[in-house]
Amino acid sequence: MAATQQTGPGSIPEMIKKKRDGARLEEAEIRSFVQGLTEGTVQEAQIGAMLMAIRLQGMDLGETETLTRALAESGQHLQWPEAWGGLLVDKHSTGGVGDKVSLVLAPALAACGCKVPMISGRGLGHTGGTLDKLEAIPGFSVVQSPEQIQELLEHVGCCIVGQSQELVPADGILYAIRDVTATVDSLPLITASILSKKAVERLSTLVVDVKFGEAAIFPNQERARELAQALVGVGARLGIRVAAALTTMDSPLGHCVGHGLEVEEALQCLEGGGPTDLRDLITQLGGSLLWLNGQAATLTQGVAQLGAMLDNGSALGRFQAMLEAQGVASDLAQALCSGSPAQRQGLLPTAPFKEELRAASEGTVQMIQALPLAQVLHELGAGRNRAGEPLHHDVGLELLVSIGQRLSAGEALGVGVGAAEDLFFL
């Protein structure tokens, strides 16, 4: 329990009540709340109450900017050599099912000459987190000091790391509690969380993949558009060039869902293969970044340049170098990046049980609903119900069909893997 209730211009309960009742929080109040997070003087119950008050009452653009700056200033800002000016870029997704884009895009952009200091997050709700996927690779460390991050960018060109006591620690606290308090879909909290991490990276350009649909944080396009506008607006106030893409999330992205399986599918894409929808999204987002950052004359050229890095092995080489630089044993990294699919399965977490899902009758696949699939996998251990809860990286599902495909009765729809029998009895 916290030793004190007072952290600045007003008590925490007073600030919670003020926001709960729909009033605007002043800059000093927001900064006081964030200071209390980092100093440990705000109780977890109070943090949850404040998050819910913000979720229900919202924040205006000024409040959101202040919260973003306060979160960013709760830790260190990364410092870069002057020669890197104009090369620092990043991408962020608001979260989806089967979204392993960052694992491919960061090394592909590095192969194009960019510097990509990607500070990512863990899973929120039913969506998978980039850090959780990478931790399915034995030895991979998402905790890197600012000095280590600079070294990674110097020698590899990219890194994918998490928040720490040095980098945006206050957001790390809020992020974990949002996941277990039904406040994931708060527009100002999403905006502040994303942009606080990007502010400390001192980027030139950021592209945000704002998803909408049944399995997205925002089911409808209008709410997603509001978030996109907030990200662009607050980003401009912070001096970051932000472009936002609106993409659908009704069906899973790619064929695989689940941490270990998604790493395998990312490797297929890094080899120039993989599902078409995954490759298309990666090349479009990456091409947009290259174009907006002045590293490609047109969007079309940016897309082609990014795709070439996937096809010629350059992106895969950067990915292997990133794995080794972030703690993965060299022989394991090499085996993952050069082995066959069967060999890779033996190197990543493997579930003891597999179960095929089969079509009950003849027909045509009309839709593949990402949300119920993700919810089942979440209950099987792929997601968290409590902050800090360990995950089962071996739980997952590989889809064997696509929308529009004709099926016979008994034909396989997908293969589920997990730690218990009767995986999909639900």
Among 93, 102, 183, 204, the active-site one is: 93
Closest CA to 157 of 84, 100, 265, 99: 84
- Mean per-residue pLDDT for 24-51? 96
Among 55, 69, 115, 178, the active-site one is: 178
Backbone angles phi, psi at 99, to 5 degrees: -85, 100
Tokens 């350059």 label which residue? 314
The pLDDT value given to residue 353: 82
Q: Give the pLDDT band (50/70/90) at residue 281.
A: very high
Strand-pair category, 396-399 with 353-358:
unpaired
420 or 312, greater pLDDT: 312
Active site residue 406: no
Query: What are the residue ranges spanned by the domains of the chain?
Result: 12-58, 82-338, 349-418
> Which region among 34-48, 121-135, 317-331, 412-426 has the lowest average model confidence (pLDDT)?
412-426
DSSP H or E stretch at residue 92: strand 89-93
The pLDDT value given to residue 217: 85
Neighbouring CB atoms inside 10 A of 125's CB total 18
Helix (H, G, I), strand (E, B) or coil at 313: coil
Tokens of 191: 């905006």
Active site residue 340: no
Sign of CA dihedral 16, 236, 101, 372: positive
Q: Give the pLDDT band (50/70/90) at residue 6.
A: very low
Among 193, 196, 205, 247, the active-site one is: 193
Query: In angstroms, rounded to a whole number, what is the distance separating the alpha carbons of residues 169 and 96?
Result: 24
Please give the CATH architecture assigned to the domain spanning 349-418: Alpha-Beta Complex (3.90)
Where residue 357 falls (left for φ over 0; alpha for ψ -120 to 50; beta otherwise) is: beta
Q: Give the pLDDT band (50/70/90) at residue 15.
A: very high
Contact 133, 262 (CB under 8 A): yes
Tokens 């506008």 label which residue? 229
Query: In angstroms, rounded to a whole number, what is the distance separating the alpha carbons of residues 172 and 216?
Result: 21
Helix (H, G, I), strand (E, B) or coil at 357: strand
Among 69, 100, 122, 197, the active-site one is: 197
**Beta strands, E only, 94-200:** 116-119, 158-161
Where residue 54 falls (left for φ over 0; alpha for ψ -120 to 50; beta otherwise) is: alpha
- Mean per-residue pLDDT for 193-200? 92
The pLDDT value given to residue 380: 83
Contact 206, 198 (CB under 8 A): yes
The pLDDT value given to residue 55: 97
The pLDDT value given to residue 387: 64
DSSP H or E stretch at residue 91: strand 89-93
The pLDDT value given to residue 354: 84
Tokens of 165: 């006591």
**Beta strands, E only, 324-411:** 353-358, 363-364, 396-399, 406-407
Active site residue 193: yes
Active site residue 248: no
Burial level of 20, CB count in 10 A (0-12/13-18/19+)? middle
Active site residue 392: no
Give the relative orientation of helices 61-72 and 187-201 as an angle to the nearest 10 degrees.
40
User: Is 70 exceeded by the pLDDT of residue 47?
Assistant: yes
Among 19, 92, 384, 393, the active-site one is: 92
The pLDDT value given to residue 263: 96
- Which CATH code of 1.20.1070.10, 3.40.50.300, 1.10.3720.10, 1.20.970.10 fits the domain covering 12-58? 1.20.970.10
The pLDDT value given to residue 422: 46
Among 90, 99, 171, 179, the active-site one is: 90
Sign of CA dihedral 125, 127, 130, 133: positive
Active site residue 18: no
What tens digit of pLDDT does each residue of 91-109 get? Answer: 999 888 999 999 999 999 9
- The number of residues making up the chain comes to 426
What tens digit of pLDDT does each residue of 55-95 get? Answer: 999 999 999 999 999 999 999 889 999 999 899 999 999 88
Active site residue 178: yes
Query: In angstroms, rounded to a whole number, what is the distance separating the alpha carbons of residues 314 and 295?
Result: 17
What tens digit of pLDDT does each residue of 114-140 get? Answer: 999 998 878 766 777 899 999 999 999
The pLDDT value given to residue 125: 65
**Beta strands, E only, 249-391:** 256-257, 353-358, 363-364
Q: Give the pLDDT band (50/70/90) at residue 9.
A: low
Query: In angstroms, rounded to a whole number, what is the distance separating the alpha carbons of residues 367 and 371?
Result: 12
The pLDDT value given to residue 7: 43
Closest CA to 186 of 176, 195, 194, 178: 178
Query: In angstroms, rounded to a whole number, what is the distance separating the alpha carbons of residues 161 and 219?
Result: 29
What percentage of the chain carries pLDDT values higher than 90? 76
Among 198, 211, 384, 393, the active-site one is: 198
The pLDDT value given to residue 419: 62
The pLDDT value given to residue 319: 98
Query: In angstroms, rounded to a whole number, what is the distance separating the alpha carbons of residues 219 and 213?
Result: 4
User: Is 70 exceeded by the pLDDT of residue 8?
Assistant: no
Contact 207, 247 (CB under 8 A): no
- Mean per-residue pLDDT for 243-263? 94
Q: Whole-model pTM above 0.95? A: no
Query: In angstroms, rounded to a whole number, what is the distance separating the alpha carbons of residues 245 and 259?
Result: 24
Closest CA to 117 of 169, 82, 79: 79
The pLDDT value given to residue 36: 96
User: Is 50 exceeded by the pLDDT of residue 4?
Assistant: no
Please give the CATH architecture assigned to the domain spanning 82-338: 3-Layer(aba) Sandwich (3.40)
- Mean per-residue pLDDT for 277-287? 97
Give the dihedral of Cα atoms 214, 422, 384, 13; nearest 10 deg: 80
- Cα angle 163, 169, 173; round to 5: 95
- Mean per-residue pLDDT for 291-305? 97
User: Is 70 exceeded by the pLDDT of residue 391?
Assistant: yes
Among 68, 74, 94, 130, the active-site one is: 130
Whole-number average pLDDT of the chain: 91
Query: In angstroms, rounded to a whole number, what is the distance separating the alpha carbons of residues 349 and 136?
Result: 7
What tens digit of pLDDT does each residue of 142-175 get? Answer: 999 999 999 999 999 999 998 888 889 999 999 8
Q: Give the pLDDT band (50/70/90) at residue 1.
A: very low
What tens digit of pLDDT does each residue of 369-390 get? Answer: 999 988 888 888 778 777 677 8
